[in-house]
A and B are shown apart, each in its own frame.
Chain A
Amino acid sequence: MLFYAIQRIGLSILILITSMVMLFTALKLIPGDPATIMLGSRANAEMKARITEQLGLNDPVIVQLGTFFGRLLQGNLGTDLWSQRPVSQIVMENLPYTLTLIAAGLGWAMLIGIPLGCYSAVRRNSFVDRLTGIISVATISIPSFVVAIYAVLLFSIQLGWLPVLGAGDKGDWKDQAIHLLMPAFALGLGWVGYLSRIVRASMLEVMGENHIRTARAFGLTEFQIIKSYALRIAILPTITLLAVAVGGLLSSAVFVEAIFARPGIGKLIVDAASMRNFPVVQGGVLTTVFLFALTMPLADLLVACLDPRVRATL
């Protein structure tokens, strides 16, 4: 088990290192000189040279990469070119908003999607099953930013029920919850259908297995069979999928946060990129990569905890 955990975490570290190198390279390839952006177009050559020197842009690329890695290992994501504040501090301010959004979006998707999938599997080809089948395909194929825009049009502009912009007042959790409703709805909608279909498919498979027939032969109730015998197994592929979902939601959050003018990592990256505020872009992207790299081994470990067969092979 310990070896397995180390193995999974090692893999995540490898993912992190690779993505850091890729990010570094990508930022090098973007046209535009950071010194010019910082100082504005009217800066003279001497000032630019000083800033370039200060940012270490004159060093050989490999040395720049080395310093970049070295600073990251110390938790130093660099300095915001505009506000001169540490990027890590800015990221940490924005991170909770994104995490709340993803948790809420995925949370409601799970809360609806998983029971719906179970129901569809047990009452296969029923009206509810067919209906969720159709609606699922529809919601999966609509991108979350489209859902967001229409949700704003309907609930905020037409009906005037929900606020459009921002994340609510700090400290007022009720206001924040109301502001969370629509973004979380937009973010999670596609996953409701997706989860229900995946859970349905794996439930159908498990419900056809021999041990379910045995449980029935011993007179267990259908509810108990589903809860303790089938879902325990059927949920396993879903857990791995949820980890992938977190990755997908991190990128969907960029759009949703932008549309709702909601603070968060996504909006931070978008704003910083448009202003060529490279250290912030780097810091934001690295944080999302780190989150994703953390989710995958966590999901694998959770599966190992829930499935004694996986545990036995470790």
Chain B
Amino acid sequence: MTGRVLEIEDFSLIFETGGAPVRALRNVTLSVPQREIVGIVGESGSGKSTLALAVIGLLAANARILSGQVIFDGRDLLTLDEDAMRSIRGKRIAMVFQDPMTSLNPVRTVGQQMLDIQHHDRESGTEVKRRKAAEALARVGIPDAAQQLDNYIFQFSGGMRQRIAIAMGMMQKPEVLVADEVTTALDVTLESQILYLLRELRDEIGCSILFISHNLGAVAEICDRVVVLYAGELVEQGLIADIFANPRHPYTRALIACDPARIPEATRELPVIAGDVPNLAAIPKGCIFATRCSWARDICAVEAPPMVETEPGHFARCHFAKAGPQQ
């Protein structure tokens, strides 16, 4: 079982703003193998959440897809109509969002919402669906699951809320789970519990997970592969061990260097990546990272670097990906 369950090919998207269009994602190509957890990392505004919403077909009204395909089960999701897409959402591709306090409905009980999302199942009665919901809650570690179905989301603690959101996502055994910043709002202990739970459920259900995060520690802990996005471009991707042991793109190197968990000793100055993300409404010529890059040479400002395979399955978009910085 090494097939690819989800493939995004040459995906480009802009947001129409009235002025110059914001080129939020440019030529992104990635694939999600079966039963693997693929991390998408990048800072705010890098396009990770937009990519997730594109997969499930819930882009903002002003988003326009310029090119690309999102292949799932042999079909391009971008060409499906609303009804076909709805039959996939929640059932075959499910999504868990950040902060369930706002991403779950405040005036419907957890049970009502868990019943609602089983609308794909037209045969089972309410009793069966309710039992399924209770089982799903019990599976993610909610005590007294059957009783808790009648509670509202705000009546739970932060960790429990995220468990409920994950239970909802996993309940119908999807083939792909998109987890968008699911641990961001949690403290460290809860975070590792949730990560552990996600991995367990992946093993149990056999689904793939698209794990979107800006937290490198979480990605390192849970993912099999990682994709690094910078300003709407995929700059590096590969197996988790390769990326962390041997990052080939200067942005990935800088990201890893900036991860507070990896700074070896107490220091008064935290490393930062100097400069700002370029304005996506006016993309500079050449390499997108050139203005902030310590490796940058003349060529970087003129010529956009190609994707280079530095070792099998490890790609980086940098002129010096293989050779390293030039003297």
Convert A204-228 into 0s and 1s, putting 1 for each residue whose CB lies closer than 8 angstroms to a CB of B.
0000011101111111110010001
A214-B154 Cα distance, complex, nearest whole Å: 16
Interchain CB contact under 8 A, B106 and A211: yes
B86-138 residues with Cβ-Cβ distance < 8 A to A are: 86-91, 94-95, 97, 99, 102-108, 112, 116-117, 119-120
B204 nearest CB across to chain A (Å): 20
> Which secondary structure dominates chain A's binding surface?
helix
Interchain CB contact under 8 A, A214 and B119: no
Q: Does A16 contact B (CB under 8 A)?
A: no
Convert B11-55 into 0s and 1s, putting 1 for each residue whose CB lies closer than 8 angstroms to a CB of A.
000000000000000000000000000000000000000000000
Residues of B within 8 Å of A307, CB to CB, are: 107
A217-B168 Cα distance, complex, nearest whole Å: 11
B89 nearest CB across to chain A (Å): 4
Interchain CB contact under 8 A, A306 and B107: yes
Q: Does B273 contact A (CB under 8 A)?
A: no
| Interface residue from B89, B104, B116 paired with A228 (Cβ < 8 Å) | B116
How many A residues, CB 8 Å from partner? 22
Residues of A within 8 Å of B95, CB to CB, are: 214, 217-218
Interchain CB contact under 8 A, A219 and B91: yes
| Interface residue from B85, B102, B116 paired with A209 (Cβ < 8 Å) | B102
A232-B106 Cα distance, complex, nearest whole Å: 10
How many B residues, CB 8 Å from partner? 29
A216-B155 Cα distance, complex, nearest whole Å: 23
Interchain CB contact under 8 A, B107 and A217: no
Interchain CB contact under 8 A, B88 and A233: no
Interchain CB contact under 8 A, A309 and B154: yes
Interchain CB contact under 8 A, B87 and A219: yes
Q: Does A40 contact B (CB under 8 A)?
A: no
Interchain CB contact under 8 A, B94 and A312: no
28 contacts between A and B (CB under 8 A): A210-B97, A210-B102, A211-B102, A211-B104, A211-B105, A213-B97, A213-B103, A214-B104, A215-B116, A217-B58, A217-B90, A217-B97, A218-B89, A218-B95, A218-B116, A219-B85, A219-B86, A219-B117, A219-B119, A220-B90, A220-B116, A221-B119, A224-B116, A224-B119, A228-B112, A308-B107, A312-B152, A312-B154
Question: What would 11 more interface pairs be, CB under 8 Å, given A216-B58, A218-B90?
Answer: A211-B102, A214-B105, A215-B105, A217-B95, A219-B89, A219-B90, A219-B120, A224-B116, A307-B107, A309-B106, A312-B152
Residues on B facing A (Cβ under 8 Å): 56, 58, 85-91, 94-95, 97, 99, 102-108, 112, 116-117, 119-120, 152, 154-155, 168
